[in-house]
Amino acid sequence: MRVLLIDDHALFRSGLETLLERHGIDVVAAVGNGLEGKVLAQRLEPDIILLDMRMPEMNGLEVLRLMREAELIMPIVMLTTSNEERDLVECLRSGAQGYLLKDMEPADLVAALREISEGKTVVAPELTAVLAKAIQGDGGEDRPAANPFADLTPRELEILCLLAEGQSNKVIARNLGISDGTVKLHVKAVLRKLDVHSRVEAAVMAVEKNLCTKNT
C-alpha cells in the first residue's frame, strides 16, 4: 500500500511516517501543505491520501474538495482531532472515504487503512453514532416524499447495492465486466438522482430502506 501523508505538524508527520513504514506501508511522500500534496497526488498516484483537517492557509476540507474537483479518485482519508458532527458530515459529503481520529491506537489506524484500500469507507468507531444521527436528521423535511430510488435504472440500482456492500469502483467493474469509467459515470448518476453528495450517503440510504436485501 502506497500512502501520501499531508499534515502541517512536522513532528507528527515524521512520527506517523515511521509508524506506517514499520507496518509495511510505503509512505511515498509526507508534506505539510495541501497544494503541494495535490501536485504530488497527481504525480505519484498513491493508493491512499491521509489528510489532516486543521491546517493553515487551506484546511483539509478545502484540499479534499480541490482534489475531487481535479478528479483524483484514490481514497482520501481525513486524520484529525475533530470529532465535530459538521466536520465529519462535510468531509464524507465532499468525497472522503475515511474519517479517523489522531488519538486512535496505531494498530487500529493500520487496520482501517487496509480496509479502505479494499474499497470500504471507515469512520472512527467513536463517531459512528454521530454519523447515524446526522444522516437520520439531515434534510428530512426537505427530502421529497416520492420514492427517491424510482428513477434509478436497473444497472444503477445494481451498482448502488454494490456500493452499500463497500465495494470500490474497480471491484464493481470487475464483478460486472464493465470499465472503471463506466462505473464512475453510473455512480455519478446515482448520486445526482438521489440528491446526495457522497457514496456513503447513497449507501446508507440503500441500507436504511432495505433496498438490497433481495441480493443478500
pLDDT category, 135, cuts 50, 70, 90? low
Judge if 59 and 129 occupy the same domain.
Answer: yes
95: pLDDT strictly greater than 60: yes
Helix (H) or strand (E) holding 52: strand 48-52
Residue 6's domain is classified under what CATH number?
A: 3.40.50.2300
Judge if 11 and 102 occupy the same domain.
Answer: yes
Average pLDDT for 90-112: 89
pLDDT at 210: 79
Q: Are 164 and 215 in contact (CB under 8 A)?
A: no
pLDDT at 137: 61
Last residue of one domain, picked from the residues 85, 102, 135: 135
Mean of pLDDT over the chain = 85
Judge if 123 and 24 occupy the same domain.
Answer: yes
215: pLDDT strictly greater than 60: no
Looking at the 3D structure of the chain, how many domains does it have? 2
Cα–Cα distance, 207 to 202 (Å, whole number): 9
Average pLDDT for 189-216: 77
Cα–Cα distance, 41 to 35 (Å, whole number): 10
Domain of residue 131, residue span? 2-135
134: pLDDT strictly greater than 90: no
**Beta strand residue intervals within the chain, DSSP E:** 2-6, 26-31, 48-52, 76-80, 98-101, 122-123
Q: Across-strand partners of 80?
A: 101
pLDDT digits (tens, 9 = 90+) for 18-64: 999 999 999 999 999 999 999 999 999 999 999 998 888 889 889 99
188: pLDDT strictly greater than 50: yes
**Beta strand residue intervals within 64-209, DSSP E:** 76-80, 98-101, 122-123
pLDDT at 138: 55
pLDDT at 132: 72
